[in-house]
């Protein structure tokens, strides 16, 4: 039996980066990019490397280009850590696993390190494959924490729950990381919203602006823990924007959402240092009348546009800067719990 599982790229619509700080966000998954894991029974447990994991190069320039595209680490460590955490989870919950071995590999076309949740997609797809192989079900509300633990506890990567909740629930997801709820139950309040209520959205990204989320979050975490008033006010502001977007979606007021997205980025720019390249992406989108904010920690942006004429203007402007743009195909394939 060959098992194939997927997890889709994620766009942070509003509220990020408050998700790691008891805030609120709305995010969506879109099928333009995905990570796929293939798993099948075999005599030994084997993890097969892919292009991102190779260590043989044509020369020094090839090595440098590879590092620029994929970073210093491939997906093997993600699979190893995910398999270990899966094993830990089953032991903790008294779940007996059969003794069959498997071979596992992954592939992903999610642009690397631009804030589209490529790493968590690989881990999510891995958990889905392992669950299918061993015939167990991990409750959807528990899965995001398990995915996050792979990166934070096993690999020491600073990250929040937003990406993992979005990829576990799929579609358009509202998330409230209420502190009291989080400390009591270990998870926030998550619910799917109506995809059809969204305005026209675009996603644009530039691979040469890639940067790990830990670069941004390390500074924000330190400021949050020492109760920096500027950061605490920003988190409350982003959470309130999330509520306003949710209300606008529910009330059919899509025309209000663009300004709220702009406000999300503008406050972020006030409390953190944004690279010139990322600011240029935002300014370029806004120059044609579209809204724009980061989808994650930089390198990719999301925004609203009025019509095909404005989208074409975005396409023309971005192509001059080597920035790629897509219309996200927002999907949900997981069904209900």
Q: Is residue 17 reached through a cis peptide bond, with omega within 30 degrees of 0 on the bond before it?
A: yes
| Burial readout 234-252 (b: 16 or more C-beta within 10 A, e: otherwise) | bbebbbbbbbbbbebbeee
Helix (H), strand (E), coil (C) string for 140-169: CCCHHHHHHHHHHHHCCCCCCCHHHHHHHH
Structure tokens at 134: 């061993």
Q: Of 61, 66, 99, 163, which one is the catalytic site residue?
A: 163
CA distances 31 to 39, 253, 336, Å, are 21, 26, 19
Based on DSSP, count helices (H) and strands (E) in the chain, helices before strands: 11, 10
Q: If you ran DSSP here, which 8-state letter would residue 95 be given?
A: P
Please confirm, yes or no, whether 163 is among the known catalytic residues.
yes
Nearest to residue 305, comparing CAs of 286, 284, 279, 323?
A: 286
Beta strand 101-108 pairing with 46-48: parallel
Identify the burial level of 214 via C-beta atoms within 10 angstroms of its C-beta, where 0-12 means exposed, 13-18 middle and 19 or more buried. Answer: middle
CB 277 within 8 A of CB 208: yes
Residue 119 CB neighbours (<10 A): 26
What is the set of active-site residues? 163
């Amino acid at each position: 039996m060959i098992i194939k599982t997927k997890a889709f790229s994620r766009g942070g619509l509003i509220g990020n980066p408050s998700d790691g700080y008891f805030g609120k966000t709305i995010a969506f998954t879109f099928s333009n990019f995905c990570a796929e894991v293939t798993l099948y029974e075999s005599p030994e447990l084997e993890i097969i490397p892919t292009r991102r994991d190779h260590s043989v190069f044509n020369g020094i320039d090839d090595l440098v280009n590879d590092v620029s595209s994929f970073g210093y680490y491939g997906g093997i460590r993600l699979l190893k850590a995910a398999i270990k955490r899966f094993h830990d989870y089953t032991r903790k919950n008294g779940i007996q696993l059969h003794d069959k071995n498997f071979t596992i590999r992954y592939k992903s076309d999610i642009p690397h390190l631009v804030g589209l949740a490529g790493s968590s997609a690989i881990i999510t797809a891995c958990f889905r494959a392992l669950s299918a192989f061993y015939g167990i079900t991990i409750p959807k509300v528990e899965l995001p924490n398990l995915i996050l633990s792979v990166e934070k506890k096993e690999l020491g990567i600073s990250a929040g729950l937003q990406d993992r909740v979005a990829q576990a629930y799929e579609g358009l997801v509202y998330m409230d990381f209420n502190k009291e709820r989080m400390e009591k139950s270990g998870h926030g309040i998550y619910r799917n919203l109506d995809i059809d209520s969204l305005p026209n959205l675009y996603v644009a990204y530039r691979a040469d602006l890639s940067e790990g989320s830990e670069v941004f979050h390390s500074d924000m975490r330190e400021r949050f823990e020492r109760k920096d008033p500027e950061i605490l006010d920003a988190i409350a502001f982003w959470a309130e924007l999330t509520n306003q977007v949710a209300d606008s979606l529910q009330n059919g007021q899509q025309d209000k959402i663009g300004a709220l997205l702009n406000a999300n980025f503008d406050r972020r720019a006030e409390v953190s240092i944004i690279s010139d390249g990322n600011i240029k992406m935002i300014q370029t989108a806004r120059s044609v009348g579209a809204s724009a904010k980061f989808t994650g920690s930089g390198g990719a942006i999301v925004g609203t546009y009025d019509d095909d004429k404005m989208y074409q203007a975005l396409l023309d402007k971005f192509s001059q800067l080597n920035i790629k743009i897509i219309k996200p195909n927002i999907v949900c394939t997981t069904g209900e719990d």
